[in-house]
Amino acid sequence: MKNIMRLAVAAGIMMLLILSNVDASGRELAIVTNKNYPLDSITANSAKEIYLGEKLTEGRVKIKPMENSDDELYNKFIENVMESTIGKYKAHWIKKVFQDGTIPPVKNNSSAEILKLIAKVSGGIGYVWADEVKGDDVKVILKVVVGN
């Protein structure tokens, strides 16, 4: 009987370890900028400030945030980087546009389009899946692991 209990406990622990590894192995979201952006890294809090329209420049460079139209990526960005809901995020921008006249981040059709624009636009910043970043025209300044 003791052996059966030990086996059951060991099996339970193994399952917990397996399940925790599955959840931790989510995809990586990458915040990318033009290769000439003045910083090589930022914090998640800085990314939030940029995407809430609170941080508009970095040194003398005007920041131009871009949104991704990929629904899954957009949802993961709002949830994991912005630590918000889509409804709250959109409400924030409606208020910001009408109160301050601030222009919200531009929404682009695809990660490929965002990467192409960021490579050309000084101050361009956007988010894509980390495995989509290729070449040296852009640089990754923050990576965030998001759940499956």
Per cent of the chain over pLDDT 90 is 79
Mean pLDDT computed over 59-73 = 95
Q: Which of 123, 96, 129 is nearest to 33 (CA)?
A: 123
Mean pLDDT computed over 81-104 = 96
Q: Which fold has domain 26-145?
A: D-Maltodextrin-Binding Protein; domain 2 (3.40.190)
Count the Cβ atoms, other than its own, within 10 Å of residue 101: 7
* pLDDT higher than 60, residue 68: yes
What's this model's pTM, rounded to 2 decimal places?
0.81
Strand partners, 72: none
What residue spans define the domains of the chain? 26-145
Identify the three-state secondary structure at position 57.
Answer: strand
* pLDDT higher than 70, residue 8: no
Question: What does the block give as tokens for 23?
Answer: 């959840």
